[in-house]
Amino acid sequence: MDSKASEKIHCLIIGSGPAGYTAAIYASRANLKPVLYQGIQPGGQLTITTEVENYPGYPDGVQGPDMMVHFEKQAARMGADIRFGLATKVDFSQQPYKVWIDDEKLLEADAVIIATGASAKWLGLESEQRLNGFGVSACAVCDGFFFKGKDVAIVGAGDTAAEEALYLSKICTTVYMIVRRDEMRASKVMQERVQRTPNIKVYWNSETEEIIGEKKTEAVRIKNIKTGDTQTIPISGFFVAIGHEPNSGIFKGWLTMDEAGYIKTQPGSSKTNIEGIFAAGDVQDKIYRQAVTAAGSGCMAALDAERYLGEKGLH
């Protein structure tokens, strides 16, 4: 690659969900002249969510894609340079840090804020993608409220699935939990809580064959792996809780991560193991994974970056 083609950037933000855009708003106001690359899914996971009711400041709720347009416009109004493109490779061995966009454009940055988010793992069914946002969701905390007093199904067997099933049990009439094996991976405490909840019905040794419905989710067809028997359960909502995948692949080998690939940050900060590299939002948060917590950590990352650049005499 021709090094002459590189562009020098003061503060680079990779990713464009609530964390990335909030970081851009704060960094712009601090005159860090941030450049934000939106990545493969501009606006992040919220662009595949329909109604958002739990973000403060929207008394009547807001559509996820609309909310991300608001975030982007605000960041742009503050002066952030927002660009379309995907970070594909990095070299964090020395300052300034190198980041390649779309395998061709080389950027050199004094500070980097990583807000690449996480992607929900899906079962891979055509009907699941077709009905996504029409009864199919990967976030019970986000969307459970819309199924108040209705029957829903949830697929998964870990702590997250158990937690979400318990959350849904307080809102919904019946929660059908679809578990592939004859036991759960969830901790004993969570399993006991699920089993003590009368309106959670667990289908063991079962897998989802099809989500049924034309314009909205109406039922799910499941198959017992041992017997081969299938049955159709009428439901209004179908929740996938088989985990999330942090979008951190290109940072492997540079940044400290946990076993699942979430970037580790120093407690109470957005600092990673490399000075001048900060992480915010779902790429470093596997516990809360909410728009409001992602936005908060984006604010932290911009403030941490401002302080770092000031201390280095680069601001």
Q: What is the pLDDT of residues 146-176, one digit of tens each?
A: 999 999 999 999 988 998 999 999 999 999 9
For residue 47, what pLDDT is reported?
A: 78
| pTM (2 d.p.) | 0.81
All residue ranges of the chain with pLDDT < 50 are 1-3
Distance CA 228, CA 222 (A): 10
Could you tell me if 136 and 120 are in contact, meaning their C-beta atoms sit under 8 angstroms apart?
Answer: no
Q: Is 11 a catalytic residue?
A: no
Burial (Cβ within 10 Å: 0-12, 13-18, ≥19) of residue 258? exposed
Distance CA 252, CA 92 (A): 11
Task: State the maximum Cα–Cα separation within the chain, in Å, rounded to a whole number.
Answer: 68
Distance CA 177, CA 168 (A): 11
R_g of the chain computed on alpha carbons: 21
For residue 80, what pLDDT is reported?
A: 98
Q: Which fold has domain 3-119+244-311?
A: FAD/NAD(P)-binding domain (3.50.50)
Please determine whether the domains at 3-119+244-311 and 122-240 fall in the same fold group of CATH: yes
For residue 59, what pLDDT is reported?
A: 95
Distance CA 279, CA 295 (A): 12
Distance CA 302, CA 80 (A): 12
Tokens of 154: 């949830």
For residue 3, what pLDDT is reported?
A: 47
- 158 Cβ neighbours under 8 A, 6+ residues apart: 184, 185, 186, 241, 242, 243
Instruction: Tell me phi and psi for residue 299, to 5 degrees.
Output: -60, -45
Q: What is the end-to-end Cα distance of the chain in Å, rounded?
A: 29
For residue 289, what pLDDT is reported?
A: 87
Check 91, 103, 110, 142 and give the catalytic one: 142
User: Domain boundaries in the chain?
Assistant: 3-119+244-311, 122-240
Could you report the per-residue pLDDT of 71-100, keeping only the tens digit for each? Answer: 999 999 999 999 999 999 999 999 999 999
Domain 122-240 is in which class?
A: alpha beta
Q: Is 139 a catalytic residue?
A: yes
Q: Do β-strands 230-234 and 136-137 pair in parallel, antiparallel, or remain unpaired?
A: unpaired
Q: Is 172 a catalytic residue?
A: no
Residue 47 in 3-state DSSP? helix
Indicate the DSSP class of residue 26: H
Check 110, 143, 151, 304 and give the catalytic one: 143
Could you tell me if 297 and 21 are in contact, meaning their C-beta atoms sit under 8 angstroms apart?
Answer: no
Check 66, 81, 139, 159 and give the catalytic one: 139
Tokens of 141: 């905390």
CA angle, residues 256, 258, 259, in degrees to nearest 5: 130
